[in-house]
């Protein structure tokens, strides 16, 4: 456990996006799925999102903020300028992902949930953005939202979703230093 903590603490040092991602992946490999989705590993999940974000925006360097209750979850340097980053996720309301990965008998009760439509996904995203903005951080951080939902159906549904994402970003832009939505391995 000390090695795991020491490796985690290393994420607080500035590094290239590639090196940061490699260290995050190495840590993730040491944590089982169930533990990964519990509260003690929230910062490790945020580190993964931060690694993806830093890679996709071609940041010069990146680091995790290891101070609890800080106004930033991490930092990125872009064109030699340091930006604070707040990270959150958007998922189905009431989803308890930790329970889905809980170890136990292989038999699970299968439930049928409604298929996500554009309105469902946009509502989850709006809730995630508004929850972060309501915290009124002392600085204007970049807000990165890991959108863990997609739409099902014809390709035009995905185009509608992208349009709704753009509208939500514009609606809330004045509160933060940019809103970035990580969706299907891309920033929208």
Q: Indicate if the alpha-carbon torsion angle 136, 142, 148, 153 is positive or negative.
A: positive
pLDDT at 105: 56
What spatial distance separates the first Cα and last Cα of the chain, rounded to whole Å? 37
pLDDT in tens, 42-71: 788 899 999 999 999 999 999 999 988 788
Separation in Å, CA 173 to CA 2, 49, 168: 41, 20, 8
Q: How far apart are CA 143 and CA 131, in angstroms?
A: 11
pLDDT in tens, 141-151: 999 999 988 77
pLDDT score of 14 more than 60: yes
pLDDT in tens, 89-118: 987 665 555 555 555 555 454 454 556 789
Structure pTM?
A: 0.85
């Amino acid at each position: 456990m000390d090695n795991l903590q020491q490796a985690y603490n290393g994420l607080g040092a500035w590094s290239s996006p590639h090196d940061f991602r490699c260290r995050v992946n190495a840590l993730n490999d040491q944590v089982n799925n169930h533990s990964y989705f519990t509260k003690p590993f929230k910062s490790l999940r945020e580190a993964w999102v931060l690694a993806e974000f830093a890679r996709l925006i071609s940041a010069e360097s990146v680091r995790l903020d290891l101070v609890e209750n800080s106004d930033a979850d991490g930092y990125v340097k872009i064109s030699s300028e340091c930006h604070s980053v707040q990270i959150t996720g958007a998922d189905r309301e009431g989803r308890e992902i930790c329970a889905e990965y809980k170890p136990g008998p292989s038999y699970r009760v299968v439930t049928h949930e409604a298929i996500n439509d554009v309105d469902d996904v946009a509502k989850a995203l709006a809730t995630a953005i508004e929850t972060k903005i309501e915290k009124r951080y002392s600085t204007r951080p970049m807000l990165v939202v890991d959108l863990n939902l997609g739409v099902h159906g014809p390709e035009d549904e995905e185009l509608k979703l992208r349009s709704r994402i753009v509208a939500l970003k514009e609606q809330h832009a004045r509160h933060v230093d940019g809103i970035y939505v990580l969706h299907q391995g891309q920033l929208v």
